Amino acid sequence: MAQFGATSVASSVAASATNLPYWVLTQLTAGNIASIKMVNWGGGDTSLIAFSTRWCRVTNTPATPTALNITSSSPGITPNSSCNTYGTVATATAGFGLLQQNWNSQGGGGVVVLPIGGEWRISGGSLGTIYNQIGCGCTQGTSSNLSFGTQWEE
């Protein structure tokens, strides 16, 4: 299976209990499945700023996508999924998520590689279909110099 990666770089962050503005992985084709293998985050701030980043299933129908650049691990393979930000931002239920991580943005960051068999899966369907999107957002912190990424397999 091919793997793909996308990163939102130099993201402007405004904390929200519900918004997932940094990236959203979407699978629109019924019958297709994508598995998130890895997520990452990082900061380049020059002062100490506390952040809390979370990864969640999307609970609304976001609109006006802007595609992030996607890199393939296998030359010539095009992903079925898309990785976007949205003008009408994706949201998730406050307090729920797949993972939430507290960290410091002054050079802080990290990577979580999900275990084999423990990947987060999305299954194809039209926008707003349950389980066809996973996104990333911050519930704490404000900055304009952060990055958030993901790697997935199809």
Q: How many Å apart are CA 42 and CA 51, to the nearest integer?
A: 10
Going by pLDDT thresholds of 50, 70 and 90, the confidence category of residue 128 is confident
pLDDT the model gives residue 64? 94
Per-residue pLDDT tens for 51-80?
Answer: 999 999 999 999 999 999 999 998 889 999
pLDDT the model gives residue 2? 92
Q: For the purposes of burial, counting CB atoms within 10 Å of the CB of 35, is it exposed (0-12), middle (13-18) or buried (19 or more)?
A: middle
